[in-house]
Amino acid sequence: MGFGDRVRGIGGAVGSAASAGRSAVGRQVAAGRDGLASGDWARSALGALPVPDSPTAVTWEYSLGVLIARHPRIPSATAKLLRPLDGLGAVRFGPDDVGFDGENVPWEKVTGLRLHDAFAVMTTEGLDAEVDRVREVLPPVPGRKWVVSKVVEAAATVVLASLEQAAEQRLDTVEVACEITYKGLLGRQKKVQASLFATALLAQRPEVARSLVATAQAHGVPVTPAPPAKEDATARTAALRARTD
């Protein structure tokens, strides 16, 4: 299966699962995995993730770069060359700071943690953007094209795993804390928005998402739902299906 087919396949699974029941979600996940038979390494790595306390007194951190570096075919010497990927798709929080995708903010500057529905980020456009960012930062190491293919594989595996996690409910009701608001220079309000991988990781590992929220609340940071989107879930689903049909 080619790169474009993989992206379209994941988009179709997300679009269908957004309004489907448990059995239909299972079929969509199975269909997506047909093109990701070699993604078992990513599922295994995700299953081995440590569970942080709620709240956590130590820093918890994971990223798409860390996941890729754990592929069994990547030697340790090559893994060191992949360090530019460490900030991509990253989730980090602990006693001192919180951040997504390599942009970390001290808790004393954070003004809020905002919930969003996971489906809003998990689209074909989101997966495209994730891969484009990898191409921008990845150095010209041997096997660069292969590494990019593993990024697609890993990101798609996490998205499919989060769909499976959400099989009991509509995906657009799965809210995760994936936006940080904070005070920037001159007191200006700024924000950090999690990428597709970071959002899917939080949706797939609810215990990590709960720890993030509990840690924020322990630092006196309010956790609030996002304002209603102008475009409802039905319209988003229809648009995604139109692109992937």
Condensed to tens digits (0 to 9), the pLDDT of residues 154-200 reads 877 887 777 766 555 555 567 899 999 999 888 899 999 998 889 98
Specify whether the backbone of 224 is left (phi greater than 0), alpha (psi in -120 to 50) or beta.
Answer: beta
3-state secondary structure of 91: strand
What does the pLDDT read at residue 147?
79
Work out the pLDDT band at 19, boundaries 50, 70, 90.
Answer: very low
Domain membership of residue 163 as a residue range: 3-244
| Overall domain count for the chain | 1
The pairs formed by 36-39 with CB atoms below 8 angstroms and a separation of 24 or more are 36/6, 36/153, 36/156, 36/157, 36/160, 38/153, 39/153, 39/154, 39/156, 39/157
Q: What one-character DSSP code corresponds to residue 16? A: H
pLDDT digits (tens, 9 = 90+) for 63-89: 888 888 888 887 776 677 777 777 788
Mean pLDDT of the region 92-117: 96
Q: What confidence score (pLDDT) does residue 89 get?
A: 85
Q: Which of 153, 120, 117, 116 is nearest to 134 (CA)?
A: 153
Which pLDDT score is estimated for 54? 96
Token code pair at residue 215: 């840690």
- Residue percentage of the chain with pLDDT more than 70: 71
